[in-house]
Structure 1
Amino acid sequence: MPEPVETTTPDGVDYGWVMQVTFVTTIIVGAPIVAVLSANTDLPSWGARAEFAIRVGAPTWFLTAIAVFTYAKRNQA
Structure 2
Amino acid sequence: MPERVETTDPEGVDYGWVMQTTFVLTIVVGAPVVAALSAFVTLSTWGERAEFAVRVGAVVWLCIGVPVYAYARSHSETSR
TM-score (normalised: structure 2): 0.88
5 Å matches for 1:1-77? 1-5=2-6, 7-76=7-76, 77=79
Q: CA RMSD in A?
A: 1.1
SS of the residue aligned with 1:59?
Answer: helix
Alpha-carbon distance in structure 1 between the residues aligned to 2:34 and 2:10 = 34
Alpha-carbon distance in structure 1 between the residues aligned to 2:5 and 2:38 = 44
Q: What runs of 5+ residues in structure 2 fail to find an aligned partner? A: none
Q: What runs of 5+ residues in structure 1 fail to find an aligned partner? A: none
SS of the residue aligned with 2:12?
Answer: coil
Alpha-carbon distance in structure 2 between the residues aligned to 1:25 and 1:4 = 28
Alpha-carbon distance in structure 2 between the residues aligned to 1:18 and 1:4 = 21
Q: Deviations over 1:32-70 (max 9, x none)?
A: 110000011101011000010011110110121101000
TM-score (normalised: structure 1): 0.91
Give 1 or 2 for the bigger CA radius of gyration: 2
Count of matched residue pairs: 76
Q: Percent identity?
A: 55
